Structure formats: structure tokens, C-alpha cells
Amino acid sequence: MIKLINLEWMKFRKNSVVQMLLWIFIIFFPTLIFVGKEESLTANNPLLKSGVFFNFPTVWDWLGYDGNWMVFFALGFLVVYTISIEISYKTMRQNIITGLTRTEFFLAKLYIVLIFVLIATVLYAITGFTIGWFHSADPSFAEAMDNDWAIPRFALMSLTYLLFAMFIGFAIKNSGLAVLTYLSYGILLEPMIRWLGHAQIVEEGISKNLYPMNAAEDLMPMPFYQITQNMPNSDGAILLLSYKEAAVTSGVYCVIFLGLTYYIFLKRDM
């Protein structure tokens, strides 16, 4: 495992795109939440008093929502890029010709995904605990951990996004098209399928929320929406999956993405 991780590090450690995306994530993920201190966002809005962004336990929700976007864009883009560029430039073929098996090459990419998940989760935990501790009136460890399993939910959310990115990277040979497909599906295509397709065909209910990116997003949703969790809106539609439903659905998709990716890679003509 160490050998494969070191090989990936040697290949991409000087890549400017990889460096830029990693620094964007490391710098902006812990700091985006401080936008909440801007008076223009909190003035005359009782739901947006600055303390809600930084106190236990709500800091976990707001920081997790920031991380939802940062993991999808920065780390997801990074995973798609590092896989698809190797296919486009034939370095994947060269690695296999010079000694790696297909399984080893696949495992190298999977290990990097798991490392990104670990880095993101540790950063989330440290940032959330630090911000909450210094902004809460009477902080305690028990209060900090009263967060509905926020840290494991964040890890599973990150894993779902990055395994989907890994699937796209292996499935689409052209690096530019792979990145475009990944971003387009999460931002445009899935919401269009859910709201313009599924919602018009299937009776309103939970099924519209069981798509992969939505399930992952519902692990760390916009905190305002949590007050409506499992409650139908005026049209009878359920806005969010519960945390348990989102976790189970995301876990199933992780297995599906991993299995499909490995199958596609084994069958691909080098």
C-alpha cells in the first residue's frame, strides 16, 4: 500500500493543478464559515445571528455545509483530473506495462481517494472543534460531540462524492469531458432528472431524493432545511432524507460506484 501511495505522490507532487486544488481546499474550507461574521448577512435576521455559525452544536452543521461544496468541487475535481489525465496521456498504460497490475493501479487510485477523505474529515473535525470551543459560552466535550454523528456523516459524504468522481474518471477517457461530466451531473443533470423528470412521473415521496448526489448532500444539508427534515412541503414533497436514510443510501451508492469502476477498468482496452 505504501509503495502505491508513494508512486501516486511522485507522479503528481509537482503538478500545478493538483497543488492549486489542494491549497484551495485547505485554505478555504476552514475559513468560508467566517463569512457569517459579515454584518450584512446577520443584520435583522434572527436565524442568522453570528453565534449560530460558530457555537456548539450548530457550528458542525454550517461547517459541514461549507465542506459539502468544497469536497464536491475541489477534491472531486482533483480525483477526476488525476485519473482521467493518466488515461488521456497513456501513463496508465505505461504503468501497467512497466510492472503494475491492473488491480494495483486501481488500488493506488482508491488509496488516494481514502486519503483525501481522511484529510477532509480530520480538517473538518479539528476546525469544527476549535471554532466551537472558542466561541461557545461554556464549552464542554459532551456539548461538542452532541452533533448527530456529524464527523462520520461528513466522512461518508466525502467518500460518496469522491467514489463518484473516481467512477467518472475511469469511465470517460477524455480528461476535459470527464471533468465536465462530473460537474454537470452534480450541478445540473441530477437536479433536472429529479425535478423535471422523476417528480412529474412518480407520485411525490421519498424516491425523488434517492439519487446519489442528493443522498450525499443530505448528509450535510443547508442547516435551514433541517427544520423541515422528513416533513412534506405544501406540494406533499419531502425535502430531505433523514440522516439515517441518507447514510444508508450513500453507503449503497459507494458500493455500486466502487464495483462499477473496477468492472469498467478490468474490461477496458488499454
**115-168: pLDDT as tens digits:** 999 999 999 999 999 999 998 888 888 888 889 999 999 999 999 999 999 999
User: Does residue 90 sit in helix, strand or coil?
Assistant: coil
Question: Mean of the per-residue pLDDT values for the chain?
Answer: 87
- Per-residue pLDDT for 246 more than 90? yes
Q: How far is CA 253 from CA 52, 140, 142, 197, 217, in A?
A: 32, 36, 32, 21, 13
Q: Is the pLDDT of residue 186 over 50?
A: yes
- Give yes or no for residue 37 having a pLDDT over 60: no
Task: Label residue 207 by pLDDT band (50, 70, 90).
Answer: confident
- Residue linked to cell 435551514: 224
Q: Which three cell numbers stand for residue 140?
A: 464542554
Q: What integer pLDDT is reported at residue 93 of this predicted model?
A: 79
What is the rounded distance in angstroms from the CA atom of residue 54 to the CA atom of residue 34?
9
Give bridge partners of residue 238 from the DSSP assignment: 232
Q: Which pLDDT band, with edges at 50, 70 and 90, does 83 fall under? A: very high
Residue-range domain boundaries for the chain: 2-267
The most confident of the ranges 26-35, 119-128, 231-240 is: 119-128
Q: Please say if the pLDDT value at position 243 is more than 90.
A: yes
Please report which confidence band the pLDDT of residue 45 belongs to, taking 50, 70 and 90 as the band edges.
low
C-alpha cell at 204: 411525490
Q: How many CB atoms lie within 10 A of CB 27?
A: 10
